[in-house]
Amino acid sequence: MTKTNTPIQIGTHTLKNRITFAPTVKFDFTDDSGMANEKLIAHYTERAKGGCGLICVEATAVTPGGRFGKNHMGLWNDEQIAGHKEITAGCHKYGAVVIIQLNHTGYTSNPECGPAIGPSAVTRQGFRGEYTTVEMSIDEIHAMQQSFVDAAVRAKKAGYDGVQFHGCHGYLINQFMSPAANFRRDAYGGSAENRARFCSEMIAKVRELCGPEFLISVRTSGCDSTLEDALAVAEEYVKAGCEYLQVSSGMSSLETVAPFRDSKVTDIQSIGAYFKDHFNGRVPVSCVGGLRTPEQIHYLIENEYVDTVDVAKAILADPEFANAVIDGTSYTKCFECQACQFGPFTAHKCPAEAKRLRSR
């Protein structure tokens, strides 16, 4: 047995192995209702069957205005709970721990869905051409926090083992934590503690309402504006009750992070390794970044650079990838298309998936 196949305790839950399916949005699997439908249920169930220790369901909107587009899954009303119950039941059937990523796009909201809001008024380029975002008032901040908390409560009712707050990739929580986007001078801006407050208060409230067994994770930026600043923000998340850090990129360049001591570890993977060193067992840490071969995954886990790995494209290409890593069996490799065919504005005809289906 390799270390990749050893269980790990995260909060009160035990993952059967160290491979997690990273949250990747399926842009046209649902419609304007935001409902989890049969296509989404089958998608996640198949990947749980494929051996993942943890499934993190894709970024799910907490308000209709915070969507990537009108075909973006949501948990903003109670009617959406039923479909999510089917996702959790499918994942639990195959022994996977399953959490859901909660998100609001903030500045980057699709103009067909809602206004571009955020911690500060900034001028930027995006869907709308050049535009100035709307700075949220304190009342609006509190209302948005309540939307996240309400979605987390719905997630628990749907059978999820926990939630992940989407705090990276330039979306709303990341905008609050990043000095590149947050210029406030009140309790939600300035120091790392204040910039973390938007998410920290939500973590504490979800813990209060959902109880000690509900896993709370943050997918956080490891480079806003520096590694040291990102670690300080993550410390606030952990103080508030975060039990699991899944570390990725944010609004600042990865060049703010010094090269890792091991040249086999990529820049994006290295910030996870730095977080692992910093937290030193206090909370498990996961990394991301082009993890498409068993050798890459075993190297990171065996050398204890991270506690778990977040795998996306390899598991999209072949839902049995996790079993292949653990058992040493063959798998269909990701073609590494320049534009992933599971991504937005694509034909949604993954060539690796097509190859796998032909070989059955």
pLDDT per position as a tens digit, 272-283: 999 999 999 999
pLDDT per position as a tens digit, 104-152: 999 998 999 999 999 999 888 776 778 889 999 999 999 999 999 999 9
Query: Could you tell me the end-to-end alpha-carbon distance of the chain, in angstroms, rounded to an integer?
Result: 28
β-pairing, 8-10 vs 117-118, is unpaired
Q: Is 208 exposed, middle or buried (0-12, 13-18, 19+ CB in 10 A)?
A: exposed
Q: Looking at residue 127, what is its pLDDT?
A: 66
Distance CA 301, CA 311 (A): 13
Segments in the chain below pLDDT 70: 127, 360
Distance CA 96, CA 164 (A): 16
**CATH value at residue 82:** 3.20.20.70
Which ranges of 178-291 does DSSP label H, i.e. alpha helix?
Answer: 192-210, 227-240, 267-279
- The answer to whether 207 and 216 are in contact (CB under 8 A) is yes
Q: Looking at residue 353, what is its pLDDT?
A: 83
Distance CA 250, CA 294 (A): 26
Give the rounded distance of the alpha carbon of 218 from its chain centre.
Answer: 7
Domain encompassing residue 193: 3-359
Three-state SS for 216-243 is: EEEEEECCCCCHHHHHHHHHHHHHHCCC
Q: How many CB atoms lie within 10 A of CB 14?
A: 11
Give every CB contact of residue 274 below 8 A, 6+ residues apart in sequence. Answer: 222, 227, 231, 257, 260
- Name which of 258, 281, 191 is nearest 229 in CA terms: 191
- State how many domains the chain has: 1
pLDDT per position as a tens digit, 183-202: 999 999 999 999 999 999 99
